[in-house]
Amino acid sequence: MVNQTYSLENDKDTLLAMYREMLLARRIDERMWLLNRSGSIPFVVSCQGQEVMQIAASFALNKERDYVLPYYRDLGVVIHFGMTTREIFLQAYAKGEDPNSGGRQMPSHFSQKQNRIVTGSSPVTTQVPHAAGFALAAKMEKNPAVSFVTLGEGSSNQGDFHEGLNFAGVHKLPVIFMVENNKYAISVPLNKQVACENISDRAIGYGIKGIKVDGNEAIEVYEAVKQAHQRALNGEGATLIEAVSYRLTPHSSDDDDMTYRTKDEVTNEKSKDGIVRFQNFLFEKGYLTETINDDLEAEIKKEINDATEYAENAPYADASTINNYVYGEKGDH
Amino acid sequence: MAVMTYIQAVNQALKEEMEQNEKVFVLGEDVGKRGGVFLATAGLYDQFGEERVIDTPLAESAIAGVGIGAAMYGMRPVAEMQFADFIMPAVNQIISEAARIRYRSNNDWNCPITIRAPYGGGVHGALYHSQSIEAIFANQPGLKIVMPSSPYDVKGLLKAAIRDDDPVLFLEHKRAYRLLKEEVPEEEYTVPIGKANTVRKGDDVTVITYGLCVHFAKQAAEKLEQEGINTEIVDLRTVYPLDQQAIINAASKTGKVLLVTEDNKEGSIIGEVSAIISEHCLFDLDAPIRRLAGPEVPAMPYAPPLEKEFMVSPEKIEQAIRDLAEF
């Protein structure tokens, strides 16, 4: 623990707040699939199975100062950093009011400057050098901010992973790299992605700290990120965290995961669902009761219903706006 | 006014911008203590320190990508690619990221990075130290590509690039670095990005070009003047997006147009210039548009006769202008 007198395990309010965000992320994601299968939205790419690590990590950051560079599964991260349920549905429906891109990007390409959620693209891992750049800028400006960037384990094979981590290592930058190891890069399993035992071992080559955690254990993830955050602020440089869980859905709404893995495997992994585990932990602690849980579910359902309705009825950006914002207005073009 | 070489103008622009704005910083390979392999950043390390003149690991995607991150944060990074030929590992960062950041975020984020890179041949640089790479980036809206032809323009355009709120690829002809010198004002000025420049007035033939070829075209035009052939020369200065009106005006003025680039001909910048003229100036033309460019081979060979064969020269331009004048 960073602070010996503080124990997250006994911090009821924070734990319940974490639980709420995890549940919200899961329920939003489930609604997206329903909307997709009923033909309302063309595409979903899921966070299911990774909410616990996303929310736990985000709680260990400073949401007033830090910069996050999420990848497309990081619904939990952007929820914690302030994107509202309504905004999330606006991007799913590609409506003009969507703060991520005004409906220009596919869903889950998150971006919201006011909350320091940095815009991302579809080619994976390009955000890793950007995170080093944010950390470099923060360090130059003596701004006590950390950049937090996430990626899948498959992305740890890209050149930008190597280049970004090496740069951060050489310059001792305040950045946290979190690999969300969900064991699949679309259809290609972990053992065909890497030959090393742990993605976190790759940190050795960059002279930075590497740590592997159970991504379904909220407190373990929280503590690892909290320590990495403290190290970053202390000028001790970057950390690579590998958080392991499992992708509970197909890669996206266009994927059929039964072509490369079995139902038994998925069912078995679902029984280890981190949200259920966290919920049980809260029940055991006495922080969560059936009544509180039911109320929470009802509240979230209403929030999602309202957001869905709002987004569905919201207008698209007008076709005449297609040429807007290629360059800044100050420019000559 | 001091006489400055092209490379000294690069150095001067960087120094002035770094003095005026502490958000401006430089990153790249060998830019620090060494001052850059061409000495573009000479003296900056001593003046501004290693935090603002950053020697990076040898990794071009990180040089671009880290710069892009810092630019989104609000800094004004000037990233150096040691040779334009080595920009390839950074293409994903430049095209998929820098060029699209404003558009994809619906104007929420922007990316004010300047990426400098020495391009061009005639320096015994062979295939991988001679290339012109502008065409690779010249159909990427969101990006600007500036290719100055003179020390005066280098200073004014580089300062404008650094102050621009969008990503600018700033391509410097490496043979021009020490070949070209002229008086450059010590005081503050910028040259606008996106505007072409008429560097010579003439009524017989129009030459539209950019970079070092502007210098070659001027030499050719001076010689031809003695034969009574008057050449109008337009320096594009910004090759993307193009200054369409300047191109249309210059082509219409003489009706005989020679387009010159050191790049391979097919798919080059001048192909787009030709298309603009074709669309807008059909009835003003008195001769077919003529293109003078590098041959359709992958890149410039090393051996002197082969390199000479590839390069555009004042003599080749002179002949092409004469042919057009006589058409």
| Residue B58 at interface with chain A, using a CB cutoff of 8 Å | no
Q: Do the two domains B2-184 and B197-326 of this chain adopt the same fold? A: yes
Q: Which pLDDT does position A196 carry in this prediction?
A: 94
| ipTM for this prediction | 0.96
Task: With respect to residue A176, please indicate whether it lies within any of the assigned structural domains.
Answer: yes
A27: annotated active-site residue: no
Can you give the three-state secondary structure of A158-199, one letter per residue? CHHHHHHHHHHHHCCCCEEEEEEECCEECCEEHHHHCCCCCH
Element at A68 (helix H, strand E): strand A67-69
Number of domains chain A is built from: 1
pLDDT digits (tens, 9 = 90+) for A267-314: 999 999 999 999 999 999 999 999 999 999 999 999 999 999 999 999
Please report residues of A whose CB lies closer than 8 A to that of B195.
Answer: 332
Q: Which pLDDT does position A330 carry in this prediction?
A: 63
The CATH number of residue A110's host domain is 3.40.50.970
Q: In this structure, what are the phi and psi dihedrals at residue A327, rounded to the nearest 5 degrees?
A: -130, 165
Task: With respect to residue A323, please indicate whether it lies within any of the assigned structural domains.
Answer: no
Alpha-carbon gap, residue B83 to B65, rounded angstroms: 17
Per-residue pLDDT band for A4 (boundaries 50, 70, 90) equals low
Per-residue pLDDT band for A333 (boundaries 50, 70, 90) equals very low
Which is nearest to B300 in space by CA: B117, B120, B149?
Answer: B120
Task: With respect to residue A329, please indicate whether it lies within any of the assigned structural domains.
Answer: no
- Out of A260, A287, A310, A316, the active site residue is A260
> Under CATH, what is the fold of the domain B197-326?
Rossmann fold (3.40.50)
Using alpha carbons only, how large is chain A's radius of gyration in Å? 20
Alpha-carbon gap, residue B296 to A201, rounded angstroms: 47
Alpha-carbon gap, residue B265 to B305, rounded angstroms: 20
pLDDT digits (tens, 9 = 90+) for A9-56: 999 999 999 999 999 999 999 999 999 999 999 999 999 999 999 999
pLDDT digits (tens, 9 = 90+) for A63-109: 999 999 999 999 999 999 999 999 999 999 999 999 999 999 999 99
| Range B2-184 classified under CATH 3.30.1540.10 | no
Positions in chain B short of pLDDT 50: none
Report whether pLDDT(A5) > 90.
Answer: no
Alpha-carbon gap, residue B146 to B241, rounded angstroms: 9
Domain boundaries, chain B: 2-184, 197-326
| Residue B259 at interface with chain A, using a CB cutoff of 8 Å | no
**Residue A101 domain boundaries:** 8-311
Report whether pLDDT(A332) > 50.
Answer: no
Compare CB distances from A113 to B57, B65, B108 and report the shortest one's residue: B108
- The amino acid sitting at B27 is L
Pairing assessment for the beta strands B231-235 and B197-200 based on DSSP bridges: antiparallel
Which is nearest to B188 in space by CA: B31, B21, B5?
Answer: B21
* Interface touch B105/A163, C-beta < 8 Å: no
Q: Which pLDDT does position A6 carry in this prediction?
A: 81
Question: Tokens at residue A52, please?
Answer: 């616990």
**DSSP per residue over B104-116, as a string?**
HTTTS-----EEE
Q: How many residues does this entry show for chain B?
A: 327
Task: With respect to residue A56, please indicate whether it lies within any of the assigned structural domains.
Answer: yes
Identify the DSSP state of B44: H
Q: Residues 6 or more apart from B277 whose CB is under 8 A from it?
A: B247, B248, B251, B257, B285, B289
Can you give the three-state secondary structure of A83-126, one letter per residue? CCHHHHHHHHCCCCCCCCCCCCCCCCCCCEHHHCECCCCCCCCC
A260: annotated active-site residue: yes
Which is nearest to A66 in space by CA: A159, A219, A178, A171?
Answer: A178
Question: Tokens at residue B169, please?
Answer: 């690829």
Chain B interface test: which of A108, A327, A330 (most B C-beta within 10 Å): A327
Residue A173, exposed/middle/buried by CB under 10 A (0-12, 13-18, 19+)? buried
Task: With respect to residue A110, please indicate whether it lies within any of the assigned structural domains.
Answer: yes
> B298 preceded by cis ω (within 30°)?
no
Task: With respect to residue A23, please indicate whether it lies within any of the assigned structural domains.
Answer: yes
| Residue B173 at interface with chain A, using a CB cutoff of 8 Å | no
Question: Tokens at residue B312, please?
Answer: 């555009």
* Interface touch B66/A167, C-beta < 8 Å: yes
